[in-house]
């Protein structure tokens, strides 16, 4: 199958995933009802209200989070030439998790969580980048070490906040956020996160030729006129913006950023132009389907999305990795 055909199939599957995500849930609607509700957004019937105020924003957020995390993971892996890199490597999630844990413990209104998560994850990444600076550039090794070290520090502090929290309900709220969930977010959150992710994606697009040249190794890429320092900064900032946008509306959802780049490279190859084009819809599909399952498998209980993805994703990933060792 040609690469263009793979992307076309991915886009068709994305449409199918959106329909599945909109139809399935605690209350199921027939496809005809869904189509009618889609065509009449202001109708005052159950289907229109559920669809337009609950499911569609949630499906849209899932699509955004999946696409953003997959893209961020792909960018960081291609920049560092390491397929085991996760977009949370730079401490993005750990910083946000600590900030949210503190916010919950101090009774900050939930409406502010997205903004807090966004600021904290961005601040953490900038701190990691500052610790990794060498003259005008960024040291990849230092960045990995600083990211892992700060993540451990923040994870320890988050646990401390949970243990010292004033009540069990506060601890549970923090744990629920850490588990990753798309519940309780609406169109407004989506607007901000989309804007932020779009800026990150726009920045990332400017680095595609440089990332492709980096497949030849850093020295050869530099000889071909790639400004390595500039490319590193742009990719780190854009991956951080994408990840922060996702973390702000979903909490910590692991694995998508690690797994989806592997899947798309297996399908369209390592050319960043194609793998990025495929990562966007594939990331969205994975998260829409996972979220639909998380909220409709055991009603009325919702399985935390981050945990569900780990449970389903790890075996799938190990299977893929063992089947295709050369693409790893």
Quick one: 25 or 266, whose CB is closer to another protein? 266
Looking at 270, 307, 312, 320, which residue binds another protein (CB under 8 A)?
270
Q: Confirm or reject binding of residue 215 to another protein (CB under 8 A).
A: yes
User: Is residue 199 at the binding interface for another protein, with CB under 8 A as the rule?
Assistant: no
Give me 32's structure tokens: 């005809």
84 binds another protein (CB under 8 A): no
With binding defined as CB under 8 A, does residue 152 bind another protein? no
Radius of gyration of the chain (CA): 20
219 binds another protein (CB under 8 A): yes
CB atoms inside a 10 Å sphere around CB 87 = 30
- Residue 271 in contact with another protein, rule: CB under 8 A: yes
Give min distance, CB of 27 to another protein, in A: 45
Q: How far is the CB of 210 from another protein (least distance, A)?
A: 8
CA count, 13 A, side-chain hemisphere, 240: 25
**How many of the other CB atoms lie within 10 Å of CB of 175?**
14
Cα–Cα distance, 10 to 292 (Å, whole number)? 18
| φ, ψ of residue 252 in degrees (nearest 5) | -95, 110
Cβ distance to another protein smaller for residue 25 or 269: 269
Minimum gap (Å) between residue 261 Cβ and another protein: 13
Binding test (CB under 8 A) with another protein, winner from 8, 111, 223, 318? 223
Using the minimum distance from each CB to another protein, give the nearer residue, 190 or 214: 214
- Find the shortest distance in angstroms from Cβ 233 to another protein: 14
Q: Which two tokens stand for residue 14?
A: 């994305």
From the CB of residue 116, how many other CB atoms can be counted at a distance below 10 Å? 17
Is 224 a binder of another protein (CB under 8 A)? yes
Dihedral of CA 280/283/289/295: which sign? Answer: negative
Contacts of 129 (CB under 8 A, 6+ apart): 90, 138, 143, 233, 236, 237
Considering the complex, state which of residue 36 and residue 212 has its C-beta at the smaller distance from another protein: 212
Residue 137 binds another protein (CB under 8 A): no
- Minimum distance from residue 147 beta carbon to another protein (Å): 23
Whole-Å CA distances, 257 to 52, 73, 175 = 28, 4, 21
Report the residue from 33, 108, 273, 321 that binds another protein according to the rule CB under 8 A. Answer: 273
Size of the site for another protein (CB under 8 A): 24
DSSP three-state, residue 301 = strand
Up-side HSE of residue 200: CA atoms within 13 Å toward CB? 32
Binding region for another protein (CB under 8 A): 206, 208-209, 212-213, 215-220, 222-227, 265, 269-271, 273, 326-327
């Amino acid at each position: 199958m040609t690469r263009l055909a793979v992307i076309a199939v991915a886009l068709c599957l994305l449409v199918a995933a959106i329909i599945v995500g909109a139809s399935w849930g605690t209350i199921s609607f027939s496809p005809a009802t869904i189509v009618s509700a889609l065509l009449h957004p202001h109708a005052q019937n159950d289907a229109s209200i559920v669809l337009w105020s609950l499911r569609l924003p949630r499906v849209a957020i899932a699509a955004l989070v999946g696409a953003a995390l997959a893209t961020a993971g792909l960018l960081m892996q291609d920049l560092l030439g390491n397929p085991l890199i996760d977009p949370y490597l730079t401490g993005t999630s750990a910083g946000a998790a600590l900030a949210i844990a503190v916010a919950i413990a101090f009774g900050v209104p939930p409406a502010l969580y997205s903004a807090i998560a966004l600021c904290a994850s961005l601040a953490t990444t900038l701190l990691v980048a500052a610790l990794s600076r060498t003259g005008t550039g960024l040291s990849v090794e230092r960045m990995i070490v600083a990211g892992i070290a700060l993540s451990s520090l923040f994870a320890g502090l988050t646990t401390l906040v949970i243990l010292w929290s004033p009540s069990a309900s506060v601890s549970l709220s923090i744990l629920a956020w850490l588990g990753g969930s798309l519940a309780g977010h609406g169109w407004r959150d989506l607007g901000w996160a989309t804007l932020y992710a779009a800026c990150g994606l726009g920045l990332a697009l400017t680095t595609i030729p440089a990332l492709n040249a980096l497949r030849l190794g850093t020295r050869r890429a530099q000889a071909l006129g790639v400004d390595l320092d500039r490319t590193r900064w742009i990719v780190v900032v854009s991956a951080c913006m994408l990840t922060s946008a996702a973390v702000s509306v979903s909490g910590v959802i692991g694995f998508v950023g690690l797994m989806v780049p592997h899947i798309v490279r297996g399908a369209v190859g390592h050319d960043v132009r194609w793998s990025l084009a495929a990562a966007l819809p594939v990331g969205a599909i994975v998260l829409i389907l996972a979220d639909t399952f998380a909220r409709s498998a055991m009603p009325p209980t919702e399985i935390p999305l981050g945990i569900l993805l780990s449970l389903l994703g790890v075996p799938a990933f190990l299977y893929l990795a063992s089947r295709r060792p050369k693409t790893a």
